[in-house]
Structure formats: C-alpha cells, structure tokens
Amino acid sequence: MQLAPSLSTTTFKQAFLRSMLQGLNAAASSSNNMSFEARKRAVKLAADVAMACARGRRAKWARALVADLSAKHQNNGALLKSMLGEMHERLVRVNNQHCCRIQRSKKILRRSHRMCSTARREKVLHASVVAKSMVKRRTKMLKKIIPGGEVLNGFSLLNEALDYVTSLQAQVELMRSLLKATEESNSNSSITHRASSKDQLKQREGS
Amino acid sequence: MSSRGRSRITDDEINELISKLQSLLPESRRRNIDRASASKLLKETCSYIKSLHREVDDLSDRLSGLMATMDDNSPQAEIIRSLLRS
C-alpha cells in the first residue's frame, strides 16, 4: 500500500491559483449585488474548490469535499459551474442519493448501539480501556473533520489526514501570498491614482 | 488512490505514517505528543486541522474585503503575478 504521494508544489500552486482566478472572477462579476458576508462566503468557497481541484480527483478527501460543497452551496451555482464545469451538476445529483444512504445506515447503527449499551455498564475501567475509548473518540473526531473520512479507518484515515493537512497548509500559504500581492497592488494603484490627480490639479491651477 | 488486494500493512509503514503526520504538525503541537500516544497525535491533528480551517476563513475575510475596493481586472493581475513569481 502506498503512502500519500508528496504534493508537487509547483503543480499544486499553479493549479490552485488558476482555479482561484476562475472563482474570484466569477465572484467579482456578480459582486455588485452581494453583501459582504456573501462575498466572503464566495471567496472561501473558491479557495476550497481550488484546493480540491489542485489536489486532484485521486485524493478521496478532494472528491468528497467537491461533492459536499456542490451540494451545500447551490446558491453559488455560477461560481461552482465556472470552476467545476458539468461535474458540478453531476455531483449535486450523486450527493443527494449518497446522503440518504448514509443517514439510513447511521440510524441503524444508532439503534443497535442503544440496544448494546446496557451490557457495557458492567465493564471495569482499566487504563487500557480508557485509553482505547479515547483513541476511539478522537478517531471519530478526525473522521468528521476530514472530508470523506466517515468511511475510512485506521491506516487509510491517517493517510488521508496526512494528505489533507499538507494541502491545507499549501492553501493557507498560497492565500497569504495572494492577499499580500493584492494589498501591494492596491496600494500601488492608489499611489498612482493620487499622483495623477495631483498632476491634474496642478494643470488646472496653472491655466 | 485505491489499493487492490488486501496486502498486510507492515509495522514499518504504520510508524512511517505516524512520524510523517507528526512532522507535519508545527513545533508547538509536536511538543504535546510523547512517543507512544496515539490519542494525543489524533487530538493534535484534529485541532491543527481546525486551526488551519480558521486561518483560511480569516484569509477569505480579508481577501474579500480587498475585492470590494478593486475593479474587475485586478484579481487577474495579482494572480498572474503570483504565478510568475516563484
């Protein structure tokens, strides 16, 4: 079994930025009617889709994330469509079927747990039992926080976590540099704007 | 990445995975984990992921704030410049 391949940084970076560009342009073109909250949500959505697309469909968390976002953000359909193409519509359909299946099996599990719990009350709380239940609880947390993690276990789950954390770090890094570049360009353009309006003022005063 | 056939996962592979995961965590979190604590590794990984999520949230905030003050063509320029810079 292979461990997660290390991300080729340049490929990821280029793919992320290109994706992000599509998303931000889509957001910008509709931003005149958007509230600040809505625009912020659109930017975050673009960043997450860009991260998943940059990582590629071979990572389970990436597929799960795209499916999840497509289903949850249907009011941002234009943005999603521009970043994902027809994958978006397909995913919305697939996800609706998938969700029902998961909910049903969760119900069944919960019912069977309730029936078994009465037998467990008798157990002595050895340190190893406590340790095991902590690992169990924390594994559950990890499963929830990693997209698609619900159906993974043990080695696969940790493998996925490794991949996901690496991608998140790259996402943060790239967004920081994007932000920085945007801030710099903003201050540059405002300087030139001020300079040119000063010139205009001088010309007018001169005449 | 699909695995065909149920080949045994060796102890070495598990240890390698665990140490890779540990090395991803920032120094401050790594200190909280002693060698044999799977539970602590899981806990630190979870909370690290959550903090990365919060950071992306905050960066999205700031980025969208900047977008409010620019015209439509500027995002393009920024990103292309970032792409070219390596």
Q: Distance (Å) from the C-alpha of residue A194 to the closest C-alpha of chain B? A: 15
- With a pLDDT cut of 70, the percent of chain B lying above it is 69
What is residue A75's DSSP assignment?
G
Which of B6, B15, B60 is the best residue to mutate to test the A interface, defined by the most A CB atoms within 10 Å of its own CB?
A: B60
B68–A43 C-beta distance less than 8 A = no
Cα separation, A174 vs A168, in Å, equals 10
Mean pLDDT by 10-residue block, N- to C-terminus, for chain A (207 residues)? 52 89 80 78 94 92 93 85 78 65 71 65 67 87 94 91 96 91 76 70 65
Question: What's the burial of A11, exposed, middle or buried (CB within 10 Å: 0-12/13-18/19+)?
Answer: exposed
Instruction: Answer whether B53 touches A (CB < 8 Å).
Output: yes
Nearest chain B residue to A48, by CA: B56
This prediction has a pTM of 0.77
> Which residues, including other chains, have CB under 8 Å from residue A204's CB and lie 6 or more apart?
none
pLDDT at B5: 47
B1 and A58 within 8 Å at the Cβ level: the answer is yes
B50 touching chain A per CB within 8 A: yes
* pLDDT for the residue numbered B3: 47
The reported pLDDT for the residue numbered A162 is 95
Q: CA B30, CA A169: separation in Å to the nearest integer?
A: 16
Q: Which of A40, A47, A82 is nearest to A65 (CA)?
A: A47
Higher pLDDT, B36 or B60: B60
Q: Give long-range contacts, CB 8 A cutoff, 24+ apart: B17-26.
A: B17/A3, B17/A155, B17/A158, B17/A159, B17/A162, B18/A158, B20/A3, B20/A162, B21/A158, B21/A161, B21/A162, B21/A165, B21/B45, B24/A162, B24/A165, B24/A166, B24/A169, B24/B48
Instruction: Return the structure tokens found at A87.
Output: 């994958």
- Mean pLDDT for all residues in chain B: 79
Q: Tell me how close the Cα of A108 comes to any Cα of chain B, in angstroms.
A: 27
CB A39 within 8 A of CB B69: no
Query: Which 8-state DSSP code applies to residue B5?
Result: S
pLDDT number for residue B7: 65
Q: Give this complex's ipTM.
A: 0.78
Does B13 contact A at CB distance below 8 Å?
A: yes
What's the pLDDT score for residue B14? 82
Q: What is the pLDDT of residue A54?
A: 93
Contact A162, A4 (CB under 8 A): yes
